[in-house]
Amino acid sequence: MSFRKEQIKKFNSLETPFYYYDLELLKKTLGELTKESSKRNFKIHYALKANSNDRILKLINDAEGLAFIAHPGNINEKILLSLIKYGLDGIEVVHPSHNPTQVKFYRGIVNEFYLLASGVSD
């Protein structure tokens, strides 16, 4: 991927960190994943990080993928609730960095909004 001079100038003016998404490339990639996974009766699970946004969530949902927030402790509750409103499918409830209070909190959100729960050990 190459960037035009105007894009580089714009990037240089932004505070960091910032996130750049090539939505067309993401659409193409999700389309290919959906096509190939359907041949094997697989379901796409896409982990979103703290840089999540509703446009990416919509693309994943449109591709019939499942979108999960990984490391939910890295985003504030307001953003998390907004992503749920836009179609988030699940939350990483269990993670080594989560203390028992956080696990209980995320389980509560999962139960309240009928989401899927995931857990990893990284």
40: which 2 tokens? 């094997």
3-class secondary structure, 50? coil
* Separation between Cα atoms, residue 101 and residue 70, nearest integer Å: 17
Q: Using one digit for the tens of pLDDT, what is the confidence trace for 17-42?
A: 777 888 899 899 999 998 999 899 88
Burial zone of 97 (CB within 10 Å; 0-12 exposed, 13-18 middle, 19+ buried): exposed
pLDDT at 120 over 90: no
Q: What percent of the chain has pLDDT over 70?
A: 96
**What is the pTM (predicted TM-score) of this model?**
0.77
User: What is the structure's pLDDT at 106?
Assistant: 94
Domains observed in the chain: 26-119 (3.20.20.140)
> Helices 54-62 and 23-39 sit at what angle, rounded to 10 degrees?
30
pLDDT tens sequence across 79-107? 889 889 989 999 999 988 889 999 999 99
Write the DSSP symbol of residue 91. E
Is the alpha carbon torsion for 65, 70, 75, 76 positive or negative? positive
pLDDT of residue 122: 63
